[in-house]
Chain A
Amino acid sequence: MKTNYLRKLRGELEEFQARDSEIEDIINDYSQLYDDAKSTGKTDEEVIEMLGDPKQIAYDLLDTLKLKKEKGVKQKIIALTPFLSVIIFMILGVSYDLWHPGWLVFLMIPVTAILFTKRLKDGIIALSPFVSVVIYMILGFGFQLWHPGWLIFFLIPVTAILLSTRGKEIPVAISPFVAVTAFIIMGTYYDLWNPGWLVFLAIPMIGILYGNNVWKIIIFELSFITAILFYLYMGYIQGSWTYGALGFMLPVVVGIAFGEITITGWDGFKGKHGKKAFIMFSTIILAIAAFLTLGFALNGWAWAWQVFLAIPVMGIVISGKFKFTAISPFVAVVLFFSIGYFFNAFQLSWLAFLIIPMAGIIENA
């Protein structure tokens, strides 16, 4: 366990591009701390709890680390990208009249900056809005798949979850997005809105699996399966979905019996984490509602997707470590797309991406 713990810590420090000598020094210190704590009779779990989460340690040590010098080639590429973009854009426009979609070359500016200057994980997360926009545009303009193409924007929170969440918690964290995607696809292509909504039951069913009591898990899961089978039987065989829905009283009763469900209104969202969860939950619901409303009411499928960017932005804002640099990729995407799309000025709107390096320079100066 010690080896595993130190390996994780080393990995986190390497992510920050700490110098090798610094990493060795810290690893040696933590190796000593581990042995000393263990010699007092603590278990491995207790020692690890005492020393802390490797990711948090790396963050706490950040201001004490001497970092590797950025490789010269990378910096040169970043500095040259705006000039290269202009040259390529002008050649494409003047020689081949490809002003559109030639402006896409300006995406090189933020993409190279993100890829070369940030931690790899952060770079991938920051790139996810760009990747999503490009795929969405291809699906929309190329195949008229604005709907359900908008589901591609789930890539943004899902990427962040996959790269920032502990392995065990990933299935729970991504289950709402997977459920919504499955529900929309089943509904759109197979008209299975009902009983397609049953996929949402996967969210509590996966959550329950993380309990400690095996019997409780089995009883809960069986109650769900029984209710689902009853619902399907009543709907398809007896032709009465309404009566079938009564079957869901079973998992509710089981939940109340085990004390998992308490009828206390908003109490579930109390406390610091509860408030954050409530804000995120509300943001997701509002974003989906706003997107669908704008899409159906104003046929705004081409631009309404931008409301989904509010989800990761809100996540950053309430994380307590707010920096404009962190949300600048999202702000830049909105400005870039809105100015380009509504004013037909993609040739100019790419300038919005300059916000990202500028924010970084101002905040880190």
Chain B
Amino acid sequence: MNTQFKKGILEMCILSIIHERDMYGFEVIDTLAREIDVNDNTVYPILRRLTGQGLFDTYEKQTNVGAPRKYYKITSTGEKKLKEYESEWRTFLQGVFKLLGGITHENELS
């Protein structure tokens, strides 16, 4: 699997989990690492890039210990991008499963 492809999937996953609820940086890394084999140190640069592209907003929230944490919140542009990603990904997977002969009905994945 090439690096660009992997990055794209990772971006979609990050958008998806922050869409579920607002998260702080380490929470994003930890959540991803528990579900998929991801190189932890690639996550923050992606978070920062997506924030720069206006897909996330950030805000600070006070914690019980130490300095306030930076939280990431998905924007409407981010939600739109996530939908695009999901649609592309589903189409792609349907094609792959068709080729593998595992799925015959197109809507089984949707």
Instruction: Enumerate chain B residues within 8 angstroms of A63, measured Cβ to Cβ.
Output: 49
Q: Is A50's CB under 8 angstroms from B40's CB?
A: yes
Chain A contact residues (Cβ within 8 angstroms of B): what range? 20 to 34
| B29 interfacial by beta-carbon distance below 8 Å | yes
Which of A28, A56, A60 is most buried by chain B, counting CB atoms within 10 A of its CB? A60
Q: Is B69's CB under 8 angstroms from A32's CB?
A: yes
Chain B nearest Cβ from A60, distance in angstroms: 4
Instruction: Enumerate chain B residues within 8 angstroms of A51, measured Cβ to Cβ.
Output: 40-41, 44
Q: Is B49's CB under 8 angstroms from A29's CB?
A: no
| A52 interfacial by beta-carbon distance below 8 Å | yes
**Closest residue of chain B to A59, judged by CB?**
B45
Contact partner, B24, options A28, A30, A36, A60, Cβ 8 Å:
A36
Complex Cα distance A50/B29, Å? 10
A16-34 interface mask toward B, CB cutoff 8 Å, 1 = contact, 0 = none?
A: 0000000000101111110
A29-44 interface mask toward B, CB cutoff 8 Å, 1 = contact, 0 = none?
A: 1111101110010000
B1-31 interface mask toward A, CB cutoff 8 Å, 1 = contact, 0 = none?
A: 0000000000000000000000011110110
On chain B, the number of residues with a Cβ less than 8 Å from chain A's Cβ atoms is 18
Q: Is A60's CB under 8 angstroms from B45's CB?
A: yes
| B52 interfacial by beta-carbon distance below 8 Å | yes
Complex Cα distance A40/B29, Å? 13
Chain A nearest Cβ from B69, distance in angstroms: 6
Chain B nearest Cβ from A365, distance in angstroms: 21
Q: Is B41's CB under 8 angstroms from A64's CB?
A: no
Instruction: Enumerate chain A residues within 8 angstroms of B48, measured Cβ to Cβ.
Output: 26, 29, 61, 64
Q: Is the interface of A mostly helix, strand, loop or mixed?
A: helix
Complex Cα distance A32/B62, Å? 12
Contact partner, B41, options A26, A31, A36, A52, Cβ 8 Å:
A52
Q: Is B41's CB under 8 angstroms from A32's CB?
A: no
| A256 interfacial by beta-carbon distance below 8 Å | no
**Closest residue of chain A to B40, judged by CB?**
A50
Contact partner, A61, options B45, B67, B69, Cβ 8 Å:
B45
Q: Is B49's CB under 8 angstroms from A33's CB?
A: no
| A79 interfacial by beta-carbon distance below 8 Å | no
Complex Cα distance A219/B25, Å? 48
| B90 interfacial by beta-carbon distance below 8 Å | no
Chain A nearest Cβ from B103, distance in angstroms: 35
Instruction: Enumerate chain B residues within 8 angstroms of A222, measured Cβ to Cβ.
Output: none
Complex Cα distance A50/B40, Å? 6
**Closest residue of chain B to A50, judged by CB?**
B40
Complex Cα distance A33/B72, Å? 14
| B102 interfacial by beta-carbon distance below 8 Å | no
- A64 and B49 contact, Cβ closer than 8 Å, known pairs A50-B40, A56-B41: yes
Q: Is A32's CB under 8 angstroms from B40's CB?
A: no
Complex Cα distance A57/B42, Å? 8
Q: Is A57's CB under 8 angstroms from B45's CB?
A: yes
Instruction: Enumerate chain B residues within 8 angstroms of A28, measured Cβ to Cβ.
Output: 67, 70
Q: Is B70's CB under 8 angstroms from A32's CB?
A: yes
Chain A nearest Cβ from B6, distance in angstroms: 14
B interface, CB within 8 angstroms of A? 24-27, 29-30, 40-42, 44-45, 48-49, 52, 66-67, 69-70
Closest 8 CB pairs of A and B: A52-B41, A36-B26, A60-B45, A50-B40, A64-B48, A64-B49, A61-B45, A33-B25
6 contacts between A and B (CB under 8 A): A28-B70, A30-B44, A51-B44, A52-B41, A60-B45, A61-B48
